[in-house]
Amino acid sequence: MIRVGILTASDKGSRGERVDTSGDAIREMVASIGAEVAKYDIVPDERDLISLKLREWCAEGLDLIVTTGGTGLGPRDVTPEATRDVIDREAPGMAEAMRAQSLKFTPMAMLSRAVVGARDKTLIVNLPGSPKGVRESLGVLLPVLPHAIDILKGVVGEHPPTQKA
C-alpha cells in the first residue's frame, strides 16, 4: 500500500476562506492506484512552513507527498523553492511530462514551476492549485508512480512492460 500525504499551500485555504477542491481531486486520483491518504494539511504560502511539513512527513516514512498550489509566478508562489529546500534529487522528467500534458490544454502551462523529486525514500510531487490542473498533471504521472516508489524503496526488479500507443 502506498502511503500518501496531501499538502495544500494556500493562504486563503489555511484561513478557512476557500474550500480545498484540489486536495479532494488528489485524494480521488491516488485512490485509483490503491494508495491510502495517511496525512493531509493546508498551510499558508510560506516557504519555511511548507518545507517544515515536507520534512516532517518524509521523516514519518510517507511514500508519496503531493502538494497543490504555489507553483506559478506570483510573489507568494513558493512551493517549488520549499520543495527544493527538502529534496535530495530532482526527477525533472516527471515535471516535464506534467507540463507537456498540460500544454495540450492551455498555453499557461508553460508558466508552471512545479518540481518533482525525492528525499530519502519519499517522492514529492508539486501540482497546480486548481482541480483541472491537478487532474491533467497527476493523470500523466499515475501510471509510473508505483514503479517510481518501488525504486525509492529499493524494490528493484525488471522494468514494467512498455505500453504501446
Average pLDDT over residues 96-111: 96
> In this predicted structure, what is the pLDDT of residue 8?
98
> In this predicted structure, what is the pLDDT of residue 156?
66
> In this predicted structure, what is the pLDDT of residue 135?
97
Note whether 22 and 87 are within 8 A (CB).
Answer: no
Mean per-residue pLDDT of the chain: 95
Note whether 44 and 68 are within 8 A (CB).
Answer: no
Q: CATH 3.40.980.10: does it fit domain 3-153? A: yes
Query: Is the pLDDT at 157 greater than 80, yes or no?
Result: no
Domain boundaries, the chain: 3-153
- Span of 35-39, 118-122, 128-132, 156-160 with lowest mean pLDDT: 156-160
First-to-final CA distance of the chain = 29
Average pLDDT over residues 43-70: 98
DSSP per-residue codes, 29-97? HHHTTT-EEEEEEEE-S-HHHHHHHHHHHHHTT-SEEEEES--SSSTT--HHHHHHHH-SEE-HHHHHH
